[in-house]
A and B are shown apart, each in its own frame.
Chain A
Amino acid sequence: MKYEKKRYILVHYEIRDDHKELEREMKARVKDLFGAIGLQSMDLRLINIETNFFILRCNHKHVDGLLFTLSSMKFKGFSFLPLRVSGTIKKLKTVMANFVQI
Protein backbone atom coordinates (compact mmCIF):
# COMPACT_ATOMS: atom_id res chain seq x y z
CA MET A 1 0.00 0.00 0.00
CA LYS A 2 1.31 3.42 -0.98
CA TYR A 3 2.15 5.71 1.92
CA GLU A 4 0.02 8.87 1.86
CA LYS A 5 1.83 12.05 2.83
CA LYS A 6 0.17 14.15 5.51
CA ARG A 7 0.26 17.80 6.41
CA TYR A 8 -0.55 19.36 9.78
CA ILE A 9 -2.25 22.75 10.05
CA LEU A 10 -2.06 24.96 13.12
CA VAL A 11 -5.25 26.97 13.59
CA HIS A 12 -5.90 29.82 15.99
CA TYR A 13 -9.33 29.88 17.58
CA GLU A 14 -10.43 32.14 20.42
CA ILE A 15 -12.58 29.83 22.54
CA ARG A 16 -12.10 26.30 23.69
CA ASP A 17 -15.08 24.19 22.82
CA ASP A 18 -16.41 20.70 22.40
CA HIS A 19 -13.99 19.21 19.88
CA LYS A 20 -16.45 16.65 18.54
CA GLU A 21 -18.87 19.35 17.49
CA LEU A 22 -16.00 21.38 16.06
CA GLU A 23 -14.82 18.45 13.95
CA ARG A 24 -18.37 17.72 12.80
CA GLU A 25 -18.87 21.34 11.71
CA MET A 26 -15.59 21.38 9.79
CA LYS A 27 -16.40 18.15 8.02
CA ALA A 28 -19.85 19.46 7.14
CA ARG A 29 -18.32 22.58 5.59
CA VAL A 30 -15.75 20.53 3.63
CA LYS A 31 -18.56 18.31 2.38
CA ASP A 32 -20.56 21.41 1.48
CA LEU A 33 -17.69 22.81 -0.61
CA PHE A 34 -15.99 19.72 -2.04
CA GLY A 35 -18.55 16.96 -1.71
CA ALA A 36 -18.39 13.54 -0.06
CA ILE A 37 -15.56 12.35 -2.31
CA GLY A 38 -13.56 15.48 -1.50
CA LEU A 39 -14.06 14.88 2.21
CA GLN A 40 -13.02 11.24 1.91
CA SER A 41 -9.85 12.02 -0.07
CA MET A 42 -8.94 14.91 2.25
CA ASP A 43 -8.73 12.47 5.17
CA LEU A 44 -9.40 15.26 7.66
CA ARG A 45 -8.73 14.64 11.34
CA LEU A 46 -8.57 16.79 14.43
CA ILE A 47 -5.29 15.89 16.11
CA ASN A 48 -4.73 18.12 19.06
CA ILE A 49 -6.59 20.81 20.95
CA GLU A 50 -4.89 23.31 23.22
CA THR A 51 -6.03 26.63 24.62
CA ASN A 52 -6.76 28.94 21.66
CA PHE A 53 -5.24 26.49 19.16
CA PHE A 54 -5.94 23.21 17.46
CA ILE A 55 -4.04 21.08 14.97
CA LEU A 56 -5.61 19.40 11.97
CA ARG A 57 -4.21 16.66 9.80
CA CYS A 58 -5.02 16.17 6.11
CA ASN A 59 -3.71 14.69 2.92
CA HIS A 60 -0.93 16.85 1.43
CA LYS A 61 -2.74 17.20 -1.91
CA HIS A 62 -5.77 18.86 -0.29
CA VAL A 63 -4.11 21.44 1.95
CA ASP A 64 -5.29 24.38 -0.18
CA GLY A 65 -8.88 23.15 -0.08
CA LEU A 66 -8.79 22.78 3.69
CA LEU A 67 -7.20 26.22 4.21
CA PHE A 68 -9.91 27.79 2.08
CA THR A 69 -12.60 25.91 4.00
CA LEU A 70 -11.26 26.97 7.40
CA SER A 71 -10.96 30.62 6.44
CA SER A 72 -14.41 30.73 4.88
CA MET A 73 -16.36 29.30 7.82
CA LYS A 74 -17.58 30.44 11.19
CA PHE A 75 -18.18 28.34 14.27
CA LYS A 76 -20.39 29.81 17.00
CA GLY A 77 -19.73 33.30 15.67
CA PHE A 78 -15.94 32.96 15.62
CA SER A 79 -13.67 32.56 12.61
CA PHE A 80 -10.67 30.27 12.30
CA LEU A 81 -7.24 31.62 11.50
CA PRO A 82 -4.90 29.04 9.93
CA LEU A 83 -1.42 30.05 11.04
CA ARG A 84 0.99 27.53 9.61
CA VAL A 85 1.19 24.34 7.56
CA SER A 86 3.90 21.81 8.37
CA GLY A 87 4.84 18.20 7.86
CA THR A 88 5.51 17.65 11.57
CA ILE A 89 3.63 18.42 14.76
CA LYS A 90 6.91 19.33 16.47
CA LYS A 91 7.42 22.34 14.19
CA LEU A 92 3.88 23.53 14.81
CA LYS A 93 4.45 23.45 18.55
CA THR A 94 7.46 25.75 18.06
CA VAL A 95 5.30 28.14 16.03
CA MET A 96 2.65 27.98 18.75
CA ALA A 97 5.23 28.96 21.37
CA ASN A 98 6.37 31.92 19.21
CA PHE A 99 2.80 32.97 18.62
CA VAL A 100 1.95 33.09 22.31
CA GLN A 101 4.61 35.82 22.69
CA ILE A 102 2.69 37.99 20.19
Chain B
Amino acid sequence: MDLHLDLTDEFERTIRMAKFLGFSTLGLDLEKSYDLKEKVTSICRKEKVKCIFRANVNEFNRSKALKEDVIYIARNVNEARSTNIPFYLLEAGNDIDEVLGVKEFCARRSNINFVIEFDFALLRLYDGFSFANYMKGLTKLMNVCRRRHIVTIFSSRAKNLDELVPPRTLYIFYKILGGYLTRREILYEIPNREIIEKLDLGPKVFGRSE
Protein backbone atom coordinates (compact mmCIF):
# COMPACT_ATOMS: atom_id res chain seq x y z
CA MET B 1 0.00 0.00 0.00
CA ASP B 2 1.32 3.41 -0.95
CA LEU B 3 -0.91 6.05 0.55
CA HIS B 4 0.74 9.17 -0.80
CA LEU B 5 1.10 9.90 -4.51
CA ASP B 6 1.08 13.57 -5.60
CA LEU B 7 0.22 12.89 -9.22
CA THR B 8 0.14 15.76 -11.67
CA ASP B 9 0.38 13.98 -15.03
CA GLU B 10 0.94 10.51 -16.53
CA PHE B 11 -1.77 9.07 -14.27
CA GLU B 12 -2.36 5.90 -16.22
CA ARG B 13 1.28 4.95 -16.63
CA THR B 14 2.13 5.69 -13.01
CA ILE B 15 -0.81 3.67 -11.68
CA ARG B 16 0.10 0.76 -13.98
CA MET B 17 3.68 0.99 -12.78
CA ALA B 18 2.60 1.00 -9.12
CA LYS B 19 0.65 -2.17 -9.81
CA PHE B 20 3.71 -3.71 -11.49
CA LEU B 21 5.75 -2.93 -8.36
CA GLY B 22 3.19 -4.76 -6.21
CA PHE B 23 0.98 -2.08 -4.67
CA SER B 24 -2.69 -2.96 -4.26
CA THR B 25 -3.95 0.35 -2.84
CA LEU B 26 -2.92 3.90 -3.69
CA GLY B 27 -3.63 7.14 -1.85
CA LEU B 28 -3.86 9.95 -4.39
CA ASP B 29 -3.45 13.62 -3.67
CA LEU B 30 -5.40 15.50 -6.33
CA GLU B 31 -5.62 18.78 -4.52
CA LYS B 32 -4.45 20.80 -7.51
CA SER B 33 -6.43 18.85 -10.09
CA TYR B 34 -9.50 17.65 -8.26
CA ASP B 35 -11.62 17.62 -11.43
CA LEU B 36 -9.63 14.56 -12.57
CA LYS B 37 -10.99 12.42 -9.75
CA GLU B 38 -13.42 10.48 -11.93
CA LYS B 39 -10.84 9.84 -14.62
CA VAL B 40 -8.32 8.54 -12.07
CA THR B 41 -10.98 6.37 -10.40
CA SER B 42 -11.82 4.76 -13.74
CA ILE B 43 -8.14 4.09 -14.46
CA CYS B 44 -7.74 2.46 -11.04
CA ARG B 45 -10.84 0.35 -11.59
CA LYS B 46 -9.51 -0.74 -14.98
CA GLU B 47 -6.15 -1.68 -13.48
CA LYS B 48 -7.84 -3.36 -10.48
CA VAL B 49 -6.04 -1.14 -8.00
CA LYS B 50 -7.93 0.30 -5.06
CA CYS B 51 -7.61 4.08 -4.73
CA ILE B 52 -8.49 6.49 -1.99
CA PHE B 53 -8.15 10.25 -2.09
CA ARG B 54 -6.36 12.62 0.22
CA ALA B 55 -7.66 15.99 1.32
CA ASN B 56 -6.34 18.66 3.61
CA VAL B 57 -7.86 18.99 7.09
CA ASN B 58 -8.78 22.60 6.21
CA GLU B 59 -11.28 21.19 3.74
CA PHE B 60 -13.01 19.40 6.62
CA ASN B 61 -12.92 22.61 8.67
CA ARG B 62 -14.69 24.39 5.81
CA SER B 63 -17.34 21.77 5.02
CA LYS B 64 -17.74 20.33 8.56
CA ALA B 65 -18.54 16.93 7.10
CA LEU B 66 -16.53 13.80 6.51
CA LYS B 67 -16.52 12.39 3.01
CA GLU B 68 -16.21 8.72 2.25
CA ASP B 69 -13.10 7.44 0.43
CA VAL B 70 -11.14 10.48 1.64
CA ILE B 71 -8.40 10.55 4.24
CA TYR B 72 -7.66 13.91 5.79
CA ILE B 73 -4.11 15.15 6.04
CA ALA B 74 -2.49 17.68 8.35
CA ARG B 75 0.69 18.97 6.69
CA ASN B 76 2.14 20.40 9.87
CA VAL B 77 1.59 20.65 13.60
CA ASN B 78 -0.32 23.95 13.39
CA GLU B 79 -2.92 22.40 11.09
CA ALA B 80 -3.18 19.40 13.43
CA ARG B 81 -3.69 21.62 16.48
CA SER B 82 -6.39 23.72 14.88
CA THR B 83 -8.53 20.89 13.58
CA ASN B 84 -11.30 19.00 15.40
CA ILE B 85 -11.51 16.16 12.89
CA PRO B 86 -11.98 12.72 14.51
CA PHE B 87 -9.10 11.08 12.62
CA TYR B 88 -6.34 12.33 10.36
CA LEU B 89 -2.84 11.69 9.01
CA LEU B 90 -0.01 13.92 10.17
CA GLU B 91 3.02 14.24 7.90
CA ALA B 92 6.38 13.74 9.60
CA GLY B 93 7.79 17.02 8.31
CA ASN B 94 9.97 18.36 5.50
CA ASP B 95 12.96 19.41 7.58
CA ILE B 96 14.52 18.65 10.94
CA ASP B 97 12.73 21.49 12.77
CA GLU B 98 9.33 20.31 11.57
CA VAL B 99 10.19 16.70 12.47
CA LEU B 100 11.15 17.70 16.02
CA GLY B 101 7.93 19.76 16.25
CA VAL B 102 5.91 16.68 15.26
CA LYS B 103 7.87 14.64 17.79
CA GLU B 104 6.94 17.06 20.60
CA PHE B 105 3.34 17.05 19.39
CA CYS B 106 3.26 13.24 19.53
CA ALA B 107 4.89 13.13 22.95
CA ARG B 108 2.45 15.61 24.56
CA ARG B 109 -0.86 15.00 22.81
CA SER B 110 -3.35 13.26 25.11
CA ASN B 111 -5.88 12.28 22.44
CA ILE B 112 -4.18 10.09 19.86
CA ASN B 113 -6.55 10.30 16.91
CA PHE B 114 -3.89 10.56 14.22
CA VAL B 115 -1.39 8.49 12.26
CA ILE B 116 2.13 9.62 11.43
CA GLU B 117 3.19 9.39 7.80
CA PHE B 118 6.84 9.10 6.78
CA ASP B 119 7.49 10.12 3.18
CA PHE B 120 10.40 8.66 1.26
CA ALA B 121 10.67 11.44 -1.35
CA LEU B 122 11.98 13.92 1.22
CA LEU B 123 15.15 11.85 1.64
CA ARG B 124 16.17 12.86 -1.89
CA LEU B 125 16.45 16.48 -0.78
CA TYR B 126 19.31 15.85 1.60
CA ASP B 127 22.88 14.62 1.48
CA GLY B 128 25.89 14.45 3.74
CA PHE B 129 25.40 15.83 7.23
CA SER B 130 21.93 17.18 6.52
CA PHE B 131 20.81 13.67 5.56
CA ALA B 132 22.21 12.20 8.77
CA ASN B 133 20.56 14.98 10.78
CA TYR B 134 17.18 14.44 9.14
CA MET B 135 17.36 10.67 9.63
CA LYS B 136 18.28 11.17 13.28
CA GLY B 137 15.18 13.34 13.72
CA LEU B 138 12.99 10.70 12.05
CA THR B 139 14.45 8.00 14.30
CA LYS B 140 13.59 10.06 17.38
CA LEU B 141 10.06 10.55 16.09
CA MET B 142 9.78 6.84 15.40
CA ASN B 143 10.85 6.03 18.97
CA VAL B 144 8.18 8.34 20.40
CA CYS B 145 5.56 6.77 18.12
CA ARG B 146 6.53 3.31 19.31
CA ARG B 147 6.50 4.35 22.97
CA ARG B 148 3.07 5.98 22.70
CA HIS B 149 1.62 3.30 20.37
CA ILE B 150 1.03 5.76 17.54
CA VAL B 151 0.49 4.09 14.19
CA THR B 152 3.11 4.88 11.54
CA ILE B 153 2.74 4.44 7.81
CA PHE B 154 5.37 4.65 5.09
CA SER B 155 4.72 6.09 1.66
CA SER B 156 6.61 7.35 -1.37
CA ARG B 157 5.11 10.82 -2.07
CA ALA B 158 5.86 10.23 -5.72
CA LYS B 159 5.04 12.97 -8.20
CA ASN B 160 5.67 10.86 -11.29
CA LEU B 161 6.56 7.38 -12.40
CA ASP B 162 10.25 7.61 -11.58
CA GLU B 163 9.73 8.73 -8.02
CA LEU B 164 7.78 5.61 -7.10
CA VAL B 165 9.47 3.55 -4.41
CA PRO B 166 9.18 -0.25 -4.43
CA PRO B 167 7.62 -1.90 -1.34
CA ARG B 168 10.93 -3.51 -0.46
CA THR B 169 12.66 -0.13 -0.27
CA LEU B 170 9.89 1.32 1.90
CA TYR B 171 10.42 -1.58 4.28
CA ILE B 172 14.18 -0.97 4.30
CA PHE B 173 13.42 2.65 5.25
CA TYR B 174 11.30 1.39 8.15
CA LYS B 175 14.08 -0.97 9.29
CA ILE B 176 16.66 1.82 9.16
CA LEU B 177 14.43 3.86 11.48
CA GLY B 178 14.60 1.04 14.01
CA GLY B 179 11.43 -0.90 13.26
CA TYR B 180 11.11 -4.60 13.99
CA LEU B 181 7.74 -5.62 12.54
CA THR B 182 7.42 -7.73 9.41
CA ARG B 183 7.11 -6.31 5.92
CA ARG B 184 3.54 -7.53 5.50
CA GLU B 185 2.45 -5.84 8.72
CA ILE B 186 4.06 -2.52 7.87
CA LEU B 187 3.05 -2.24 4.25
CA TYR B 188 -0.32 -3.97 4.28
CA GLU B 189 -1.93 -5.10 7.53
CA ILE B 190 -1.47 -1.98 9.67
CA PRO B 191 -2.53 0.61 7.02
CA ASN B 192 -5.37 -1.69 5.98
CA ARG B 193 -6.63 -2.13 9.54
CA GLU B 194 -6.13 1.46 10.66
CA ILE B 195 -7.20 3.35 7.54
CA ILE B 196 -8.78 1.37 4.71
CA GLU B 197 -11.16 -0.80 6.76
CA LYS B 198 -12.33 2.25 8.70
CA LEU B 199 -13.01 4.06 5.43
CA ASP B 200 -14.98 1.06 4.17
CA LEU B 201 -17.10 1.02 7.32
CA GLY B 202 -17.94 4.68 6.82
CA PRO B 203 -16.71 7.88 8.38
CA LYS B 204 -18.62 7.44 11.66
CA VAL B 205 -16.24 4.73 12.84
CA PHE B 206 -13.35 7.20 13.03
CA GLY B 207 -12.44 8.39 16.48
CA ARG B 208 -13.64 5.36 18.35
CA SER B 209 -11.09 3.93 20.73
CA GLU B 210 -10.30 0.27 20.15
**Hey, which bits of chain A sit against chain B, CB under 8 A?**
12-14, 29, 32-33, 64, 67-68, 71-74, 78-83, 85, 99, 102
Q: Would you call B165 and A71 a contact (CB within 8 A)?
A: yes
Main secondary structure on chain B at its contact with chain A? helix
Cα of A64 to Cα of B172 in the assembled complex, Å: 7
B17 contacts across to A, CB distance below 8 A:
102
Q: Would you call B20 and A102 a contact (CB within 8 A)?
A: yes
B176 contacts across to A, CB distance below 8 A:
68
Using an 8 Å CB-CB cutoff, how does the interface string of B117-157 with A read, 1 for contact, 0 for none? 00010011001100100000000000000000000000000
Number of B interface residues, CB 8 Å?
23
**Hey, which bits of chain B sit against chain A, CB under 8 A?**
13, 16-17, 20-21, 120, 123-124, 127-128, 131, 161-166, 168-169, 172-173, 175-176
B173 contacts across to A, CB distance below 8 A:
68
Main secondary structure on chain A at its contact with chain B? mixed
Q: Would you call A72 and B168 a contact (CB within 8 A)?
A: no
Closest to A68 in B: B172
Q: Would you call A81 and B161 a contact (CB within 8 A)?
A: yes
Q: Would you call A32 and B166 a contact (CB within 8 A)?
A: no
